Amino acid sequence: MSFEMDVWGHRACLSLYVRRYVPNYADAEDTVQLTILKALNRRHLYDPERPLLPWLCIIARNHILDMYRKDRTARGFIAQLNTEDWQPAQQNVAVLFDQVMHYIEQNDRTGCMQIVRLMEKGFSQSEIAAELSLSLGTVKTRVRMLRAKLLQHFGALEPHI
């Protein structure tokens, strides 16, 4: 697998990780996309002997901290960020991802699991619609409904360890 595919393969886990610290969905998605772009542009800095996901989480963390440093009203948020919270990033994200996937498998009544699996592979919603022979609106609605159910079930997406 290429480096780019490996990075995009971690998008779902990275999204869950970022959502823990960025409550606004649009900002969280921007952070994930910027993290992926930074990783791809700085691939020469990555040590292939080390796991990729923690490296991506560090890039995301640095972007989040920069984002909140620029926003003067968020000083309290920065104070809440405990550096130790970022250390077990790989384990927390992996555990949370497993919990989310298990929840989807147990509660999937509309074929969302197929959509999630394709999103994991980096497919866009348009590509998923074509792959599953669904309308784009149907895919968007199912994703929106799934996100709402996950947020309701998992709250602030804190891992239940």
Written as tens digits, the pLDDT of the chain (161 aa) is 588 888 888 888 888 889 888 888 888 888 999 999 999 999 888 888 888 888 898 899 888 888 776 664 444 444 455 544 544 555 566 666 677 777 777 877 777 778 877 777 777 888 888 888 889 888 888 888 877 777 777 664 444 33
Q: Note the pLDDT of residue 157.
A: 45
Query: pTM (2 decimals)?
Result: 0.47
Residue 93 lies in a domain: yes
Q: Note the pLDDT of residue 74.
A: 44
Residue 109 lies in a domain: yes
* Domain count for the chain: 1
CB distance 69 to 23 below 8 Å: no
Q: Note the pLDDT of residue 35.
A: 92
Nearest to 12 by CA among 101, 86, 87: 101
Residue type at position 39: A
Q: CA-based angle 91:95:96, to the nearest 5?
A: 120
Residue 17 lies in a domain: yes
Domain of 58 in residue numbering reads as 3-154
Residue 160 lies in a domain: no
Q: Note the pLDDT of residue 161.
A: 34
Residue 15 lies in a domain: yes
Cα distances from 47 to residues 12, 43, 55, 103, 159, in angstroms, run 22, 9, 9, 34, 28
Residue 161 lies in a domain: no
Residue 159 lies in a domain: no
